[in-house]
Chains A and B, each alone.
Chain A
């Protein structure tokens, strides 16, 4: 499943309480919908958290699940963000193998993506980079088989500011 095909981004503002994430994710699970990515953290108001959910699903079932989410007492607000109307970012840390010959190119590419070296030893180097999910895809793709492991946070998103 590629998130680019028909992914939907739900930005769900919830009460920051135990069990709320389970309530939200349970609604997807009981309908057999796979959550593509999930990011959750408190907002500027510490009593609230924002959950950003990326899910691959047709529009009709998504409308139903959005309505069901809205029924949860702990859910305060739900916005579906059309990718074109949202700014999205994701963070990734990635470990790659390097040789003395390839290392300059890896560092240069990391630099090009505004990344930073977090750790290095022997023939391995771990860098972090933030960007659009597509940029992170492009980076790992260019690294090819050099990638040993990576971890992505799942995307976070906010609506675009419109004038």
Chain B
């Protein structure tokens, strides 16, 4: 069948099962936007290309399916670099299609030309400049394969205009669809080496103080059930990193919650005092380890990751296993059972009582505000948490509000927490929430955002209003770039430099209303719940609530940057 590159691209996306594209047209990608009119694929017209990328990420986080974004060349391509980098850092499956100037114009500084594959090389799992229209079906097939297998990640396809323009002979091709993908240099190993798995089982059997250190890879591998089975088989506690919140239900007795710079005392200290860390799809990020030399000094390490480059990258494992977390955990469970688990496990009751002692002694805490004072952000989060469904999806931006949400939310299900962990992209929340709601329209989706973050990507609420995507945004408005303010207060002698934003400029309620949303403002504790309840009832447009919060409130516990996790500061009084 004779076809052209533009029609072939859309057909290939349909065959890959794409149901939605987040995008914004422009000159170089124009020919592809014509066949979209006749395609069953839903296109969501964003207001800024960064929004398209983060929406695709939010969609992927919530559904496990690859998010797809499509934008034009030049400035559109550069605008979507941040989402690409974000997806690369957090291993989010995503396919981004960018238009490119015609093949004859490449390298001539043509209008809206940038070297997209050159610029994005270090922030994509793979990218490809299409040079021949006949390659389009194959390259699309490969892109989805690469994005979704192994360690997931973003793949970019850059397509020159003449190859998709049906009026240009360069766009002609005979349609085909590859039966399979043949990439000689790409063969991710899925099953773990049985000998190493047995080594791991023996280390576990000998451990007195083991901790399961679950990272985002657990969720990417759809391994939450397997992880819980392993934890329950051995009766071993689990910490869930920022990227793994929800991998084990927070109300499960074995779940210790979040470790790291703003982790809770028990999760941080259990890792520090452990004699065996079983790292599963986690990468010993600096925000988890604190000062590396002082991190879990007496712990042996079992490290399981689908990306062999993670093994030994930061901390050398005693047993490093390359493989898919779900398969390896299942294999490990079998190996442990063969060696006699759970009956053969050592008595770890003193470790368990040490841990529960920490939990009792050092719970998360804050002091509720006095009447007439600004809201405590933690109080707002508790109210939101307790008045939304268990399976509500929560997205956040980056900063204090993100940490409080990760701390105070009680995640009961995997894939209910969406945030920017590795790159730390302010402005992530609004578009990511929109993408999540598009992918999971059956779920309630809240974004918890900061006022600084909100101002970076709020325009996508126009997209959400126009497309009737009823996300809900809780702005914890403390009128500051709060996390920076916290560092300036603690480490720069309260010299506040360029962090004040004003609570009223912009007027968030009016801004929300101008964007077609319901806008509310909440200043006192008794108004928090009614506002949340009212927001929960709105299902035909987005809602924005401007919660006026106390700027002096800081995120605790905190391990100061560069310090050992043993130097964790539990609260403002600086007590250990």
Report A's interface with B, CB cutoff 8 A.
14-15, 18-19, 22-23, 26, 30, 63-64, 67-68, 70-76
Contact = CB atoms under 8 A, between A and B. Distances in A.
B185 A72 contact: yes
A63 B308 CA distance: 11
12 contacts: A14-B185, A26-B122, A30-B122, A64-B312, A67-B308, A72-B126, A72-B185, A73-B125, A73-B185, A73-B186, A74-B185, A75-B185
Interface of B: 117-118, 121-122, 125-126, 129, 131, 146, 183-186, 307-309, 312-313
Contacts of A64: 309, 312-313
A26 B117 CA distance: 13
A7 to B, nearest CB: 22
A70 B313 contact: no
A40 B308 CA distance: 26
A68 B121 CA distance: 13
Contact of A73 (B183, B307, B308, B313): B183
Contacts of B125: 71, 73
Contact of B307 (A15, A26, A71): A71
Contacts of B309: 64, 67-68, 70-71
Given A30-B122, A71-B307, A76 B185 contact: yes
Contacts of A14: 185
Contacts of B118: 19, 22
B184 A76 contact: yes
Contacts of A71: 125, 307, 309
A141 to B, nearest CB: 40
Contacts of A26: 121-122
A70 B311 CA distance: 14
A15 B312 contact: no
A63 B312 contact: yes
Nearest to A15: B185
Given A67-B309, A70-B309, A73-B146, 10 more contacts: A14-B185, A15-B184, A18-B131, A22-B118, A26-B121, A71-B309, A72-B185, A73-B125, A74-B185, A75-B185
B171 to A, nearest CB: 21
B313 A23 contact: no
Please name the 3 residue pairs, one residue from A and one from B, whose CB atoms are nearest each other, closest first: A67-B309, A76-B185, A73-B126
Nearest to A19: B117
Contacts of A30: 122
